[in-house]
Amino acid sequence: TYDDMDSYVDLLIVGAGPAGLMLAAWASQYDIHTRIIDEKSARVQTGQADGLHSRSLEIFDSFGLAETFLKGAFHVNEICSWNPDPKNPRHVIRTQRARTQPSNLSRYPQVSLNQGLTEQILLDYLASKGKVSVERNLTPETFHIDERLCDDDSAYPSVLTLRRLADNEWAKNIRPDSYQGAERETVRAKYVVGCDGAHSWLRQQLRIPLIGEHTNKHFGVMDIVPLTDFPDIRESCVIHSNCGSVMTIPREGRFVRLYVQLGETAEGETSDRAAITPKAILDRARPILEPYSLDFRICDWQSVYTIGQRVAPRFSHRDRIFLAGDAVHTHSPTMGQGMNVSMQDAYNLGWKIGSVLSGMSDRKILSSYDEERRPIANELIKLDTKMSNFYSEGPSEESQDYQTFRDTFSWFLSGVSVSYGPNMLVTSAKKGLASSNGHHANGDRRGSHGEHANGPKPYETNGSNGHRCSPVSDVALAREIRLGQRMPSEKIVCQSEANPMLLSDILPSNGKWRALVFAGDLTSADQRQVVQNLGEALEKVCHQYAHPRQGLHSTIEVITIHSRSRDDVVMLDLHNVYHPWDDTLGWDYWKVYCDDAGTAGTCGETYEKYGIDAESGCLVILRPDQHVSYIGALSDETAPARFFADVLVPRTR
């Protein structure tokens, strides 16, 4: 029984840092009741994380925000490696300029922008959607979960007491249990997500530890406006001298972030943080930069960090409570990953909770969060250990050629090679074909746990009766599209309007699944028939899962890309599911595209870039987060029904 005085919420997010705000951005796409609370009275103002990698920008783009980020950010195009001059080992010289990442990696570069501005852009986005806003000066005080209710979809198993704080009370009282605020409220939640940072209160309530070690190596960090003759000060640099290391990252405006090696403390001894002033950091940096000079008048932020890598052994509890971001993994800032991986955790989780709460999907999809994101955190921890050794100790045999060293990691660091599955949301690759899909076999661009490479499961049966076989992906049909990875974006041309665009432009984060029908050569009568037959099957599937009042494509959107010129194809000759009709709005002209050169001659290579046969095409199914779930032949008309039966719930009409 529930108390009338209690408040009820579908989703409660604790913590409004980058992870919590990203989750709230997803929650804004659904018709669900979400609250997000934070003990602080304001967002981060200065310092902390500053690196934004390509996949994060792709994600922002899917919310329509990438341009806002790019305008304010510093673009990190090159990284310079500086080492002792063999002729004068007390001086450093530039030994290499390396590009930050290969040009074919993403349409977005790596940039740096301070965490506060990143949070502000997300806060502005939430305000523009008008569904979720951060409630500040509010913190959970008690937590209880009724384990008996966890399997009941309609239940609110988590009960939390929230306490309202006076402005900045969190800063005055470091220990949350000493907060003075008296106003309390009891909240019952269907789902709770702890995005409450490295000292996560929620993780502690669940008695989930962070496993790993802190080293005794310390770095001083500061954001300064440098006064210097060092020639690469407006480039990102890794500087190793015989008396320590400095890393530099130019920032927006005139600022430059410096990470300066402070040395090691003895076993068991902690560093005296108060003694590490900006002046002390400067004094350590100066001999490392010799023969160049360094000074500053303006310092915006300063901190000290100790290298360490820790990760939680589980990211969720009964698929009712989840932890994301720093709450479950902490590492050094050397790779600029903290904010990125934290937001990407939330990006993986948000649509799943949204789909379940809005009745699109069964709760069983939620287990994929831990399954998909924990291996990424473990991989990150491994790489971070290597990278922070490199930053502290300088080039080794493995990292002598800095460009090669960086390129090895950049696919993972950028976030674009992150790969999920196989699981309920990502089908297995056909046995024997995984290795023909380029990089899958040796895992060089996968970056995560590489199940496909270790031998895909040939068939998965529907758990309940074991009769229906889920489809198995034929990855050879799209040789450059990786099952489980995010869909790369290539140019296409709108059939009806002749506008060239990127595929990503029509894949916003709005909670929809996508069936991308690469229709092949529609001038062939046989191929037209194959596409027609698939259209009939897709119409039934779309109808079965569509929201009763929101149109045929409201849950699964069908997007067609054919390989012939626009002049060769008449959109209305295609089955209606490819350009659905609305009694008020007419035909949907923004669902059929082609791979011709376009009026400016800048398009027309998409089939080739995806490695898809221009005659026979293929079907690619994408999750709402743009990761590839399935690749198969157009002639396998029953595949979509088989695939979606495992992940979606039919809508009652």
Q: Which of 127, 129, 114 is nearest to 28 (CA)?
A: 129
Rounded CA separation 206/209 (Å): 9
Segment contacting ligand FAD by CB under 6 A, of 44-52, 358-366, 494-502, 626-634: 44-52
Taking the complex as a whole, the smallest distance from the CB of residue 339 to ligand FAD amounts, in Å, to 5
Q: How many helices (H) and strands (E) does the chain have?
A: 13, 28
Q: Quick one: three-class SS letters along 386-417? A: HHHHHHHHCCCCCCCCHHHHHHHHHHHHCCCC
**Is 187 an interacting residue with respect to ligand FAD (CB under 6 A)?**
no
Q: Look at strands 321-323 and 184-194 and give their pairing.
A: parallel
Q: Which residue from 115, 348, 509, 626 is in contact with ligand FAD, where contact means CB under 6 A?
A: 115
Taking the complex as a whole, the smallest distance from the CB of residue 22 to ligand FAD amounts, in Å, to 8
**Is 40 an interacting residue with respect to ligand FAD (CB under 6 A)?**
yes
Q: How far is CA 196 from the centre of its chain?
A: 18
**Is 38 an interacting residue with respect to ligand FAD (CB under 6 A)?**
yes
Rounded CA separation 46/39 (Å): 18
Main-chain phi, psi angles of 390, to 5 degrees: -60, -45
Segment contacting ligand FAD by CB under 6 A, of 18-26, 484-492, 524-532, 623-631: 18-26
Contacting ligand FAD within 129-148 (CB under 6 A)? 139-140
Helix 402-413 vs helix 367-393: crossing angle, to nearest 10: 160
Q: Are 115 and 47 in contact (CB under 8 A)?
A: yes
Residue among 134 and 492 whose Cβ is closer to ligand FAD = 134
Segment contacting ligand FAD by CB under 6 A, of 10-18, 184-192, 527-535, 596-604: 10-18
Main-chain phi, psi angles of 639, to 5 degrees: -60, -45
Rounded CA separation 647/164 (Å): 39
Q: Which residue from 12, 27, 49, 323 is in contact with ligand FAD, where contact means CB under 6 A?
A: 49
Rounded CA separation 184/162 (Å): 6
Q: Which residue from 201, 411, 545, 644 is in contact with ligand FAD, where contact means CB under 6 A?
A: 201
Residue among 19 and 534 whose Cβ is closer to ligand FAD = 19
Taking the complex as a whole, the smallest distance from the CB of residue 305 to ligand FAD amounts, in Å, to 6
Q: Is 588 helix (H, G, I), strand (E, B) or coil?
A: coil
**Is 423 an interacting residue with respect to ligand FAD (CB under 6 A)?**
no
Cβ count near 204 (within 10 Å): 16
Q: Are 129 and 28 in contact (CB under 8 A)?
A: yes
**Is 640 an interacting residue with respect to ligand FAD (CB under 6 A)?**
no
Q: Which of 483, 507, 610 is nearest to 559 (CA)?
A: 507
Q: Are 251 and 223 in contact (CB under 8 A)?
A: yes
Contacting ligand FAD within 206-235 (CB under 6 A)? 221
Cβ count near 278 (within 10 Å): 17
Taking the complex as a whole, the smallest distance from the CB of residue 156 to ligand FAD amounts, in Å, to 20
**Is 116 an interacting residue with respect to ligand FAD (CB under 6 A)?**
no
**Is 384 an interacting residue with respect to ligand FAD (CB under 6 A)?**
no
Amino acid letter for position 164:
R
**Is 326 an interacting residue with respect to ligand FAD (CB under 6 A)?**
yes
**Is 255 an interacting residue with respect to ligand FAD (CB under 6 A)?**
no
Rounded CA separation 353/202 (Å): 18
Q: Is 454 helix (H, G, I), strand (E, B) or coil?
A: coil
Active-site residue (options: 259, 347, 369, 391): 259
Q: Are 158 and 144 in contact (CB under 8 A)?
A: yes
**Is 48 an interacting residue with respect to ligand FAD (CB under 6 A)?**
yes
Active-site residue (options: 38, 50, 384, 625): 50
Active-site residue (options: 18, 157, 333, 375): 333
Active site residue 251: yes
**Is 39 an interacting residue with respect to ligand FAD (CB under 6 A)?**
yes
**Is 37 an interacting residue with respect to ligand FAD (CB under 6 A)?**
yes
**Is 551 an interacting residue with respect to ligand FAD (CB under 6 A)?**
no
Active-site residue (options: 251, 257, 320, 373): 251
**Is 624 an interacting residue with respect to ligand FAD (CB under 6 A)?**
no
Q: How far is CA 618 from the centre of its chain?
A: 27
Q: Give the N- to C-terminal CA distance of the chain in Å, as an integer.
A: 30
Taking the complex as a whole, the smallest distance from the CB of residue 325 to ligand FAD amounts, in Å, to 2
Residue among 137 and 555 whose Cβ is closer to ligand FAD = 137
Active site residue 333: yes
Residue among 19 and 349 whose Cβ is closer to ligand FAD = 19
21, two tokens: 């705000």
Q: Are 544 and 652 in contact (CB under 8 A)?
A: no
Helix 639-647 vs helix 525-545: crossing angle, to nearest 10: 20
Binding mask 335-354 for ligand FAD (x = CB under 6 A): -x-xx--x------------
Active site residue 422: no
Q: Which residues in 265-357 belong to E strands, given as ranges?
A: 294-311, 316-317, 321-323, 329-330
Q: Is 179 helix (H, G, I), strand (E, B) or coil?
A: coil
Residue among 119 and 646 whose Cβ is closer to ligand FAD = 119
Taking the complex as a whole, the smallest distance from the CB of residue 255 to ligand FAD amounts, in Å, to 13
**Is 251 an interacting residue with respect to ligand FAD (CB under 6 A)?**
no
Q: How many residues would you count in the chain?
A: 653
523, two tokens: 């001038």
Q: Which residue from 16, 27, 66, 377 is in contact with ligand FAD, where contact means CB under 6 A?
A: 16
Taking the complex as a whole, the smallest distance from the CB of residue 510 to ligand FAD amounts, in Å, to 23
Q: Which residue from 176, 278, 395, 450 is in contact with ligand FAD, where contact means CB under 6 A?
A: 176
**Is 27 an interacting residue with respect to ligand FAD (CB under 6 A)?**
no
Active site residue 136: no
Segment contacting ligand FAD by CB under 6 A, of 13-21, 148-156, 411-419, 561-569: 13-21
Segment contacting ligand FAD by CB under 6 A, of 190-198, 290-298, 572-580, 599-607: 190-198
Query: Which residues are paired to 75 by β-bridges?
Result: 111
Query: Annotated catalytic sites, by residue?
Result: 50, 251, 259, 333
Which spans of this chain sit near ligand FAD (rule: CB under 6 A)? Answer: 14-20, 37-40, 48-51, 115, 139-140, 176, 195-197, 201, 221, 303, 325-327, 333, 336, 338-339, 342
